Amino acid sequence: MKLAKLPRFNLAEFPTPIHYLKTLTKSCQGPEIYMKRDDLTSLGLGGNKTRKLEFLVGQALVLGADTLVTAGGIQSNHCRLTAAAACKAGLSCELVLNGTKPSVPNGNLLLDTIFKARVHYCARENRDATLVQVAQDLTDKGKKPFVIPIGGSNAIGSVGYVNAMVELKDQLAAMELTPAAIVFASSSGGTQAGLALGAKLMGFTGEILGVSIDQTKIGEDSFLPVLAGIANETAQRIGGDMVLAQTDFSLNCDYLGAGYAKPGDLEFNAIQRLAQTEGILLGPVYTARAMGGLLDLIHKKVYTKGQSVLFWHTGGTPELFAWADRF
């Protein structure tokens, strides 16, 4: 594997800890629940994008880029961490955010501002075109932009989650733990593609279950081909001969609720439950939906006593402040 030779810019300390959630486990009366704390990656309030950005920024620096350019929603964790990574790497950052500028920035948007990212607001349907335009304008001005796709989910970023699986394997061995499932929030796919590929490479045989935040797996919009595509390009990038098929991905789309960034009872209940049993915070958009899904699956006895499950906390806690009126 070429993994160790790929350009990488250090952004945080690894490994992130694994915590046993004793009180939550007791209250569920089901499997032992463990949590991998990627909310604690030590850059700009943490989250899963940090692992992807180590490889994306590494590549940007090799190419001599001076500006990171990416896009997302107003409360995008990915955009906030890209802005933080740019500061640490000595690069500029321009963000294309779909939505309108609020009078007072809050949550992730507040942090984007503190990390001095230049923000371009646009309508959701113009987001891709605006991203291209912003990069073009920078090039025209003699700058060297490095464009990062939504969520950092390409073969470069996904390597971060292959690497995370290598990290996890050692931790599980030391803890003598064999989870029946690894459960996490899945959206633009880079995390799931990397974890599924890493699991295959590491011989991890448990389930790798993405709880979908906004994607479907049926019909023309099926996200499974996208997952397989990212995983296979990532495999090529690390020099592996592994090929993943759509059937290698397990994506649960039962918890989409009212849609992306529209949290409801499932999410707010999960936030309060984790906070009040373990002192751990979840974000309303991603991690609370995924945890709400896991708690429901435990309630339905999909996972039971005698098993263990690992919830991979992908971060997103700064989102909380944008939903202050809901608590």
Residues that bind ligand PLP (CB under 6 A): 47-48, 77-78, 151, 153, 185-192, 283, 286-287, 314-316
Supply the minimum distance, in Å, between the C-beta of residue 268 and ligand PLP: 16
Distance CA 33, CA 144 (A): 46
Supply the minimum distance, in Å, between the C-beta of residue 143 and ligand PLP: 26
Supply the minimum distance, in Å, between the C-beta of residue 186 and ligand PLP: 5
Complex with ligand PLP: residue 47 or 145, whichever CB lies closer: 47
Complex with ligand PLP: residue 25 or 234, whichever CB lies closer: 234
Q: Which of 27, 42, 76, 103 is catalytic?
A: 76
Supply the minimum distance, in Å, between the C-beta of residue 304 and ligand PLP: 26
Complex with ligand PLP: residue 189 or 198, whichever CB lies closer: 189
Complex with ligand PLP: residue 92 or 187, whichever CB lies closer: 187
Distance CA 193, CA 249 (A): 8
Q: Cα dist. 143→55, 131, 134, 136 in Å?
A: 21, 15, 11, 9
Using DSSP bridges, classify how beta strands 18-20 and 32-37 pair: parallel, antiparallel or unpaired: antiparallel
Complex with ligand PLP: residue 9 or 161, whichever CB lies closer: 161
Distance CA 297, CA 25 (A): 14
Helix (H) or strand (E) holding 296: helix 287-299
Establish whether 92 is a catalytic residue.
no
CA angle 160, 149, 231 (to 5 degrees): 45
CB-neighbour burial class of residue 257 (10 A; exposed 0-12, middle 13-18, buried 19+): middle
- Looking at beta carbons, which residue is closest to ligand PLP? 316
φ/ψ of residue 315, rounded to 5: 100, -145
Supply the minimum distance, in Å, between the C-beta of residue 176 and ligand PLP: 28
Complex with ligand PLP: residue 238 or 290, whichever CB lies closer: 290
Distance CA 200, CA 244 (A): 9
Task: Name the nearest CA neighbour of 264 among 214, 312, 314, 323.
Answer: 323
Distance CA 215, CA 218 (A): 9
Supply the minimum distance, in Å, between the C-beta of residue 173 and ligand PLP: 25
Residue 258 tokens, joined: 């009212």
Query: Which residues are catalytically annotated?
Result: 76
